[in-house]
Amino acid sequence: MYFALLKEFLRNRAAAAGLVILVLVLAVAALGHFRFPGDPWEMAAAPMLWPGEDWANPLGTDLMGRDIATGLVSGARVSLLIGLVSALISAIIGIAAGALGGFYRGWIDAFLMRVTELFQTVPQFVLAVVLVAIFKPSVATATFAIGIVSWPPTARLVRSEFLLLREREFVQAARSLGMGDVRLIVTQILPNALPPVIVVGALNIAHAIQTEAALSFLGLGDPNVMSWGTIIGNGREQVVDAWYICGLPGIAIVLVVLAFNLLGEGLNDALNPRLAEK
Amino acid sequence: MTKLLSIRGLRTWFHTRAGVARAVDGVDLEIAPGETLALVGESGSGKSVTALSILRLIQEPGRIVAGEIRFDGMNLLTLDDRRLRAIRGNRIAMIFQEPLSAFNPVQSIGAQIVEAIRLHRRTSRRAAYARAVELLEQVGISSPDIRVHEFPHRLSGGMRQRAMIALALACKPDILIADEPTTALDVTTQAQILDLLKSLQTENGMGLLLITHDLSVVAETADRATIMYAGRVVEEGPVATLFTRPSHPYTAGLLASVAIDDLPPGERLPEIPGTVPSLLAMPQGCAFADRCPKASGAAGCFTKAPEFSAVSPRGEHRVACFLSAMSPAWRFPVPAERKTLPREMEEDEKIKAKEAA
């Protein structure tokens, strides 16, 4: 079954392209420091070297003489880490809230949905900025803040799936076998509700990476960690003289976000039974 | 005969916005070990709700408002959740009408049987898995060691119902509730599934509550039958007695509507006039009075509900009707205006008459 799903997924060219980009970025994040060792914050060469000008710094240096390639490798790690972990946090909170609300309905549902709406009425990014500003900016707080602001759509989606699935006969059949609520939720309903959640999760990763870049751009990133947003933020003064300082990490962000979006779309096509039948 | 399960005065009502629908309104029934009781009635008569009430699977807005369901010395209606869960699937199991929708679509049938076993038995996954293969073999699925990995949608309808039975039998229940187990199947498969249920019953000695609207299924499988109409039991007795000497006009009507063998060709099948009363607006008297050809004001059919009382000396045949003292060969009368032939037949007759002239 999983093999068939993979085949279905790879038949979609865009999704396969997304997967390829993602594998490349993962490779850069995992292996990049072998080619570009050293601290991304250290001055490595003369400042403002253009890409290709000196092969010791193939992607050039910024205003402070820091190697951009080293920065990009570091940024790939930070972006993927924050993207994946915060999407995971948001998925866990969203699934928990949606599952409980959709399964039990009644006052539990009413309460959880009011909380969800509360989060949805506040602009996501502003809330993330406030959260990071209150706690000290670090990779951990950024991850946490992005996770906290992005769970409501997942919660609503999971809730709607649960509301539908809980009425299905197999749930009653499972109940008639003597299953308790927890087991019903975890082993019976959740696996059936998961496909759309996985799709939204992939898109959430892309969105989290953008949010992290935006936070770092505003100087709310971890001061000890070089991320793509940080490089862009540092280079914005020279954007006319040396566009590559902003441009290269910008391209990196675009590629990764595009990859996750393509992945999400591909998963949607592969997992959505209505589309699969065409 | 000691009773395994006995239901007394069960009332399951649905509190809807339009009012209270008395889906089950005072049902009594009993099942002995090894016995098959058929619960018969048309759609909406409350037979499925009765079955779901036994395991307390009624969902809001439905509620069991009164009654007692005794099983092995316990009243299932007052049992706490944990104990009730220990009975569900373990001592009382259920199979459903549509096996495709009763299986979890994303789990293999083997995994579902293993899970059912491990809910109630402390066995290793490996042992439960071996038992699952054994169960599939027992219900007549060929190459069970391969089928055990199949997902429900990959099996045929009959195969799926067999797998469903295997799932229900996973813990050797004392009582099996089968809610229209053959309705979704074609006739040959139907017969196979019924045979399977019968043979498994004799093997395990379990009581079988067979819910159906199909009188041929009743005749083939059941020892006793309980006939429901609009949420109430109207007649109960051994199948042989019910089929030969029905005492309630409704039972008689049901039988007449399927007894087509002795009808001349072209004759309209007898039917019961009218429709079932709305559960929201039940008549004051007997629920069947409006459709009953025998109902009379003098007997009280329209003013009070008839008591359930014995019509046979030993009391195994009981009926809820004021007019139960009927002739044994009571036949449901075919209304006079319906005794006309369909139009094509009429024309045929005319042509024949012309030819003769």
pLDDT tens for A171-207 read 999 999 999 999 999 999 999 999 889 889 999 999 9
Listed by start position, the domains of chain A span 2-32+66-276
pLDDT tens readout for residues A226-237 = 899 999 988 888
- Please report the pLDDT score of residue B323 as a whole number: 79
- Please report the pLDDT score of residue B305 as a whole number: 83
Confidence of residue A7 (pLDDT cuts 50, 70, 90): confident
Contact assessment for residue A153 and residue A147, using Cβ atoms and an 8 Å cutoff? no
Collect all residues of chain B within an 8 Å Cβ-Cβ radius of residue A1. 151
Cα torsion for A136, A137, A140, A144, to the nearest 10°? 90
- Please report the pLDDT score of residue B334 as a whole number: 45
- Please report the pLDDT score of residue B345 as a whole number: 56
Of the candidates A1, A169, A180, which has its C-beta nearest B102's C-beta? A169
- Please report the pLDDT score of residue B293 as a whole number: 82
Look at residue A110 and tell me whether its pLDDT is greater than 90. Answer: yes
- Please report the pLDDT score of residue B338 as a whole number: 40
C-alpha angle with apex A104: A101 to A105, nearest 5 degrees?
A: 65
Q: If you measure CA to CA, which chain B residue comes closest to A2? A: B106
Collect all residues of chain A within an 8 Å Cβ-Cβ radius of residue B167. 177
CA distance linking residue A131 with residue A20, whole number of Å: 35
The verdict on a CB contact (< 8 Å) between A1 and B151 is yes
The CA distances from residue B292 to B176, B192, B283, B285, B303, in Å, are 34, 37, 13, 12, 14
- Please report the pLDDT score of residue B10 as a whole number: 94
- Please report the pLDDT score of residue B99 as a whole number: 87
Q: Say if A163 is an interface residue toward chain B (CB within 8 Å).
A: no
Interface test with A, best of B84, B112, B180 (most A CBs within 10 A): B112
The verdict on a CB contact (< 8 Å) between B102 and A170 is yes
- Check whether domain A2-32+66-276 has CATH 3.40.50.280, yes or no: no
Listed by start position, the domains of chain B span 103-167
Look at residue A83 and tell me whether its pLDDT is greater than 90. Answer: yes
Confidence of residue A268 (pLDDT cuts 50, 70, 90): confident
Q: If you measure CA to CA, which chain A residue comes closest to B85? A: A178
- Please report the pLDDT score of residue B61 as a whole number: 86
pLDDT tens readout for residues A21-49 = 999 999 999 888 888 888 888 888 888 88
Of the candidates A172, A177, A191, which has its C-beta nearest B119's C-beta? A177
Q: A209 exposed, middle or buried (CB, 10 Å; 0-12, 13-18, 19+)?
A: buried
Q: Say if A198 is an interface residue toward chain B (CB within 8 Å).
A: no
Residue ranges of chain B with per-residue pLDDT less than 50: 1, 326-331, 334-342
| Residue owning tokens 């999400």 | A264
Sorted by sequence, the CB contacts under 8 Å of residue A238 that are 6+ apart come out as: A48, A62, A63, A245
- Please report the pLDDT score of residue B346 as a whole number: 58
CA distance linking residue B247 with residue A90, whole number of Å: 66
Task: Please tell me the distance in Å from A143's CA to the nearest CA on chain B.
Answer: 33
Cβ-based contacts under 8 A for chains A and B: 60
Task: Please tell me the distance in Å from B220's CA to the nearest CA on chain A.
Answer: 26
Collect all residues of chain B within an 8 Å Cβ-Cβ radius of residue A187. 107, 115
Interface test with A, best of B90, B104, B153 (most A CBs within 10 A): B104
Contact assessment for residue B222 and residue B35, using Cβ atoms and an 8 Å cutoff? no
The verdict on a CB contact (< 8 Å) between B94 and A173 is yes
Task: Please tell me the distance in Å from A183's CA to the nearest CA on chain B.
Answer: 10
- Please report the pLDDT score of residue B340 as a whole number: 44
- Please report the pLDDT score of residue B350 as a whole number: 66
Q: If you measure CA to CA, which chain A residue comes closest to B152? A: A170
CA distance linking residue B338 with residue B318, whole number of Å: 32
- Please report the pLDDT score of residue A275 as a whole number: 52
The CA distances from residue B275 to B132, B250, B293, in Å, are 46, 12, 14
**Strand residue runs (E) in B41-152:** 62-71, 74-75, 92-95
The verdict on a CB contact (< 8 Å) between B103 and A175 is no
**Which of B45, B39, B42, B53 has the alpha carbon at shortest distance from B10?**
B53
Contact assessment for residue A19 and residue A26, using Cβ atoms and an 8 Å cutoff? no
The verdict on a CB contact (< 8 Å) between B107 and A178 is no
The mean pLDDT of chain A is 89
- Please report the pLDDT score of residue B343 as a whole number: 52
Sorted by sequence, the CB contacts under 8 Å of residue A260 that are 6+ apart come out as: A18, A22, A83, A202, A203, A205, A206, A209
